[in-house]
Each structure stands twice: as C-alpha cells, then as structure tokens.
Amino acid sequence: MKLIETIRNIWKIEDLKSRILTTIGLVLIYRLGSFIVLPGIDPTQLSALENQTAEGVMGLLNMFSGGAFANASVFGLGIMPYISASIVIQLLGIAVPYFQRLQREGESGRRKINQITRYLTVIILLFQAPAYLANLPDAAVTAPGIMFKITSIIILTAGTMFVMWLGERITEKGIGNGISLIIMIGIIARLPFAAVAEFVSRLEEGGGLVMLLIEIVVLFFVFAGTILLVQGTRRIPVQYAKRIVGNKQYGGVRQYIPLKVNAAGVMPIIFAQAIMFVPITLAGFADSETATGIAATFSDMTGWVYNLSFALLIIAFTYFYTAITINPTQMAEDMKRNGGFIPGIKPGKKTVEFLDSVMSKITLPGSVFLAMIAILPAFAMIAGVDRMFAQFYGGTSLLILVGVVLDTLQQIESHLLMRHYDGLMKSGRIKGRTGGGPAVY
C-alpha cells in the first residue's frame, strides 16, 4: 500500500524520524502539563468554571488551550498571550518606524523583535493571570489569600512561557511550526469529547443516526472547502529580460508570483471577534434596558444581527489585513530592479495598478468565503448540533486545523522529495499556507 510505503520511507530518513519523534515527545509534555492543576485548587470544585467555558470567548480560550483553561492548569492561559503580543508587534511593524527598521535588519532584527515579543507577553500575562484567578469559583480555592494569588500568577506566567519555549523547540528541532502545532493539538484534544457528546445525544433521538451521518457528510464538504480556501492562489506570470554575461547571452526566464486568495489567513476572524465583544463590554457599564438589549443581541451567537455584523467585519478586516501585508508597489519595484515585467503590462505605475486590481478581485471571493466559514458554527447550532461539536464546522478552529496540517505535511513531503522518495500525494505536491502568503501564526 502507498501509505505503508510512505511510512517506511519516512522511517528510513534519520533526520526526519528524529524530528517527528521530538515533536511527539514535546507535544506529550504539553498535554501532560494541561492536566496539572494549580497548587491550592480543588479540581473537584471546578464544575462552575467548566460551565463558563462552554460557550463565548471563554469557550474559545478553553479550546485553544486544549481544556487547560477549564482545568485550572499550570498551562491554563495557554499560548494565547504570546499570540496577542505577536499581533501587537506585527501591527507596530506597520506604523512605527523603529519596528520597520528592525524588520529590515534580517536575522539580528528578528531576534530583537522576538525578545520584545517575549517581554510584551509577560506584561500581558501579569494582567491576564489575576483576571483568571478572580474568575475561579470560590469553592475551588482551598487556601485563599495573597500568597495564593502571588504564587499562582508566577506559575501561570511561567507556564505560558514554558509552552512558548516548547513551541520554539518544536520549530527548531521538530517538524512544522511549533506555536501553530500547539494550538492545533489543543483544538484536536477537544474533538473526541465533542464527537462523543454529539453521538450520545443523537442516539437518544429517534432517527438520530441519520442526522449524525448527514452532519459528517456536511463536515467533510466544509473541510474540503477550507482546504481550497487555504491553498487557493492566482499565479501572475513574470518575464525576466535577456541578460548578457561576458560573451554569452542568456534567454529570458518566466516565473510566477503566487497571490493567495486568502492572504490574511485567520487574522480577520480574530480581529472581528475582538470587535464583537466591544458592545457587550460597553453595555456592562451602562444600567439601562437598551444597553441590556444590545448586550443580549451581541451575545446571541445564533442571532442574525450577530452573524451579519460578524461577517461584514470579517470581509472588511480581510481587505485591511491584505492591504497591509501585500505591498504591490514593493513587488513592482523588486520586479523592475531584477529586470522583470508582467507580459502586456508596462513596468512601474501600470504594474502597481495591475497587481492592486488583481488582489482586489481575488480578495473579494476569499473574504466572502472566509466570512461564510466563520459563521457556519452558528448555522450548525441552529440545526441542532451540539455547541461544542459545532465549533469544528468552521471558524478559527477549522482554519487553524487545516492550515497547520497542510504546512506540516508539506514539510514532511519536502524531506521525502529531497531524498528522492515519492511524495505524499500522486496528484501533485501539497501546498500549505506558507506558499505566497503569511501563515496563520
């Protein structure tokens, strides 16, 4: 069989085998830590926290942490503070000249940016850890007091920094992007519980197995559509002019610029989700029926107002994030400097206008499809799917899951092809998020 032969080939490559085993070992350490409860916490009294994390933003945080958030684990805050810090630094790289200069300094600049990101992560943790402790049920804290708060804040901060270190070691010594893999493992860890809960609930209904089969078929098509969204590209041909070196004349070379249909990745969903919590937060400070109604409207994940607003914000942020990450002017200047041009398009301003027009055209369907995927869990919940299982029908979780799996398989395939073995697929090479666009994280 093709699969068995591929596994044998992977095992023959010593470096690839070592990287895969290292990745598995580090991931197991992460999963083990997610079950180690904070000192001074009674795990049998955490049912109230589990109920709070069943939905909303806390449910999202619990999913990304693989259940560590609801377990009051030493890894309870997960990797999300680091992700938040990375997003802030990325945005500062657009507006602040100092960070722009660091981005142009190559490896030394990247090291400085990573160091600043770590410091910012610690600052975020010092704010998030006390908020997390304040949200714990009183009955779960066996020894409340100032020492419990101080030690727990230190442990939660150290736990997130250790998870971040694990991610960096996976990237360096293992296979795939470590931070993305840790988030993906957290999401996958919740899938068996969600699937079992949905299976049990359907068994209790008349004709429930038929509905379960329909759900699986729909999930398959959503998964396939997400793969198309992640891999979709528009290839722009670039012709490089003839060059003369010494007495020899070299003919022109045609290459392609792959422009991603969804160059923004999952970032528009993250930004839109953050904005959607603003009305709820502001309404909490007001004491009126109108404010209460607004809060209720934007808390209803299955309501049409919530989903329409969410979809429009995602489309808008997709254009915004694509505009700040893809620079047609820089691309045109690079082509001109290297003697390249797009056939039928004049170099300079016309090339910039052409690239900008192409990006606008392919971003529209990409943004609409991204918005559809983001609100699909709401439709799944309306159809009667369990809330936890419905999260896997779209949104951030599915995009991260598909993107990380494709990126990891792409790296494994590169190792195989480099040693002259067959790839993972007969129909062509696997394309991940890294080809022509930024990774999710």
Number of H helices, E strands in the chain: 17, 5
pLDDT at 49 over 60: yes
DSSP 246-259: TTEEE--EEEEEEE
- The sign of the CA dihedral 24, 25, 28, 29 is negative
Which residues have CB under 8 Å from 305's CB, separation 6+?
Answer: 297, 298
The domain 205-441 belongs to what CATH superfamily? SecY subunit domain (1.10.3370.10)
- Cα 235 from Cα 354, distance rounded (Å): 13
DSSP 8-state class, residue 425? -
d(CA 301, CA 280): 13
Query: How many CB atoms neighbour CB 292 within 10 A?
Result: 13
Contact 186, 63 (CB under 8 A): yes
The residues, ordered by sequence, that sit 6+ positions from 380 with a Cβ below 8 Å of its Cβ are: 215, 389, 390, 393, 394
pLDDT of residue 203: 78
Is there a contact between 62 and 53 (Cβ–Cβ < 8 Å)? yes
Contacts of 351 (CB under 8 A, 6+ apart): 328, 332, 335, 336, 341, 342, 345
The C-alpha atoms of residue 237 and residue 286 are separated, in whole angstroms, by: 56
Question: Using one digit for the tens of pLDDT, what is the confidence trace for 378-398?
Answer: 888 888 887 778 877 777 778
pLDDT in tens, 121-166: 999 898 888 888 887 877 778 878 898 889 999 999 999 999 999 9
CA nearest to 362, candidates 260, 293, 264: 260
Percent of the chain with pLDDT over 90: 8
Residues of the chain with CATH 1.10.3370.10: 1-175, 205-441
Calpha distance 147→151 (Å, rounded)? 6
pLDDT of residue 241: 60
Dig out the tokens for 161 from the structure.
Answer: 């920094």
Superfamily of domain 1-175: SecY subunit domain (1.10.3370.10)
**What is the per-residue pLDDT for 247?**
46
Average pLDDT, the chain: 79
* pLDDT, average across residues 314-325: 84
